[in-house]
A = this chain, B = another copy of it.
């Protein structure tokens, strides 16, 4: 007989994202999420079939936050930039969730919607089929790759380390063997993640604009 459900899918989603934002990824367990909702762990299995599904809810919540101005962009490059930037900002607003976004394949409507919007903008360059696929791979690869670089690349900050300390560590390397690494570590000190994202996206857009629309492939 129809007992009304105690929770909803989107309630779990919101609670899971809040928990990750507050406690970090290690704090996201079935037991912790359940107690956040005032129930026992097994209750969650009425809404998801496995732990992994909770991760997907979080990914969907983050990507679903991406919003960009719905204008008639005169240049397709500006439209691509607007969508890419919106995704970048949504991801960066939830740094603890980044590993999930990097490693979980989501097939939620929110992901499909933003993907299609990005493809629509890229298609205005005259691309379709494999040319469009490659352009999409390159742009979305750059977004996730840049988010990843800050999280885990050689220049990423150690957990509780200041930027100064990171640079100091690089300055301690042998100058003759790691001259360029030391150079960019210094440059990173006067730089922001946002400006690096903007500039590297511009590099890729220059390449996308120069090519023939991928039709020759």
Bitwise interface map of A from 164 to 187 toward B, beta carbon under 8 Å scored 1, else 0:
000000000100011111011011
Does chain B have a CB within 8 A of A17? no
Do residues B128 and A149 form an inter-chain contact, with CB atoms below 8 A?
A: no
B-binding segment of A6-14, A39-47, A64-72, A130-138: A130-138
Shortest Cβ distance from A129 into B: residue: B187
Interface bracket on A:
35 or more
Do residues B153 and A140 form an inter-chain contact, with CB atoms below 8 A?
A: yes
Q: How far is the CB of A209 from chain B (nearest CB, A)?
A: 8
Shortest Cβ distance from A120 into B: residue: B180
Given A180-B123, A181-B119, A207-B206, A196 contacting B132 (CB threshold 8 A): no
Cα separation A186 to B131 with both chains bound (whole Å): 12
Does chain B have a CB within 8 A of A205? yes
Which chain B positions have C-beta within 8 A of A106? 152, 154
Which chain B positions have C-beta within 8 A of A107? 154
Q: How many copies does the complex hold?
A: 2
Do residues A200 and B154 form an inter-chain contact, with CB atoms below 8 A?
A: no
Residue of A98, A111, A152 most packed against chain B (CB within 10 A): A152
Q: How far is the CB of A161 from chain B (nearest CB, A)?
A: 11
A191 in complex: contacting residue of B116, B130, B149, B184, CB < 8 Å: B130
Can you pick out 29 interface pairs between chain A and chain B where the beta carbons lie within 8 Å of each other?
A99-B103, A102-B148, A102-B152, A103-B103, A103-B152, A105-B153, A105-B158, A107-B154, A116-B180, A120-B180, A123-B180, A129-B184, A132-B183, A132-B184, A137-B149, A138-B142, A138-B204, A141-B141, A141-B142, A142-B145, A143-B145, A145-B148, A148-B148, A203-B204, A203-B207, A203-B208, A205-B207, A206-B206, A206-B211
Ranked nearest first, the 10 interchain pairs of A and B with the lowest CB-CB distance are A141-B145, A207-B207, A145-B145, A119-B180, A138-B200, A206-B207, A203-B207, A133-B184, A134-B199, A105-B152
